[in-house]
Amino acid sequence: MRSVISPAIILRIREFGESDLLVSFFAEDAGRLKGVAKGARRSRRRFPNCLDLFCLSRMEYVDRGKGDMLFLDSCRLINPFAGLRSDFSALSLGSYMVELTEILFPVGVGDRRMFALLRRAFEALDQGERGDRLRVIFEGRAMSLGGYGIGLECCSRCGRPYEGRGRAVFLRTRGAIGCLRCAKENAMTPSLDPPAMGALALIQSGDWKALRRMGLGPEVVSQIREVLKLHIAYRLGEKLKTTRYLE
């Protein structure tokens, strides 16, 4: 049994018993976890407004090991992300990001880079950023961190390296690109032009500085969006429930 203190993003909360809360959160040090906050619905001293949905809090919890339920000792608010929770479009996109995170990262699987991505995305939503630009950045990086990065280096059929000239075709069954000699462009095998290829590579690598310098225009975002839509559906084998709110 050990006591842990870590920044964490609250993913889901529900009432548990008469005065407790069952909390699902993504901790910086340990990934997605679940724990019981005893008396959280009554105690303002131990849990002062820090267990609201999607907020960033400094969580203190006890890990008893052996897969047992965690116990949350106390919590302190770091950032409530009030702008995220007060706007329906932001809340919808935030909910989608949480669902994708939960699918890619089972309970107990930690990744500090995923925590940083989720925190950065929520900060952007809180500051008013919306739409497909933020969505494709999150999707592309999250899929890469979850082990489903798209192969962009060469044609997945003939092995010819992609050298940054001309279009490449996305092959969903391979999770990688193909050259125009090996594949034809259509609705199920959309193409990416050089700017979109470069942007997707930066998204997957998490090189935010280079991505900001490059910029993401509407055409680039549209191309990447079509590819990621097919990629996520094929690799995860299901349509995320929260997409209905985005649509």
Q: Tokens standing for 127?
A: 């500051």
Enumerate the domain spans of the chain: 2-81, 130-247
DSSP strands (E only) in the chain: 2-16, 20-27, 31-37, 56-63, 70-79, 168-171, 176-178, 191-192
Between CA 160 and CA 143 the distance in angstroms is 24
Q: Are 236 and 147 in contact (CB under 8 A)?
A: no
- Amino acid occupying residue 108: G
Reported as a single tens digit per residue, the pLDDT across 28-42 is: 989 999 998 887 777
Reported as a single tens digit per residue, the pLDDT across 154-179 is: 999 999 999 999 999 999 999 999 99
Closest to 201 in 3D by CA, of 143, 142, 132, 153: 153
Pairing of β 56-63 and β 2-16: antiparallel
Query: How large is the average pLDDT for residues 126-155?
Result: 95
Compute the radius of gyration of the chain from its Cα atoms. Answer: 20
Between CA 117 and CA 140 the distance in angstroms is 11
Q: CA quadruple 110, 146, 130, 33: dihedral positive or negative? A: negative
What is the DSSP track for 96-157?
A: HHHHHHHHHS-TT---HHHHHHHHHHHHHHHTT--HHHHHHHHHHHHHHHTT-PPB-SB-TT
Quick check: helix, strand or coil at residue 186?
A: strand
What pLDDT is stored for residue 44 in this prediction? 65
pLDDT band for position 86 (cuts 50, 70, 90): confident
Output the pTM of the full model: 0.93
Between CA 65 and CA 52 the distance in angstroms is 26
CA distances from 167 to 31, 52, 141 (A): 37, 45, 22
Class in CATH terms, 2-81? mainly beta
What pLDDT is stored for residue 130 in this prediction? 78
What pLDDT is stored for residue 67 in this prediction? 60
Quick check: helix, strand or coil at residue 204?
A: helix
CA 236 vs. chain centroid, Å, equals 14
Q: Which CATH superfamily is domain 130-247 in?
A: Recombination protein O, C-terminal domain (1.20.1440.120)
Q: With 70 as the cut, is the pLDDT of residue 71 above it? A: yes
pLDDT band for position 189 (cuts 50, 70, 90): very high
43/14: higher pLDDT: 14
Burial of residue 235, with CB atoms counted within 10 A of its CB: 0-12 exposed, 13-18 middle, 19 or more buried: middle
Closest to 137 in 3D by CA, of 88, 92, 83, 93: 93
Q: With 80 as the cut, is the pLDDT of residue 136 above it? A: yes
Between CA 233 and CA 228 the distance in angstroms is 8
Rounded mean pLDDT of the chain?
A: 91
pLDDT band for position 68 (cuts 50, 70, 90): low
What pLDDT is stored for residue 66 in this prediction? 61
Instruction: Name the residue with tokens 């992300």.
Output: 81
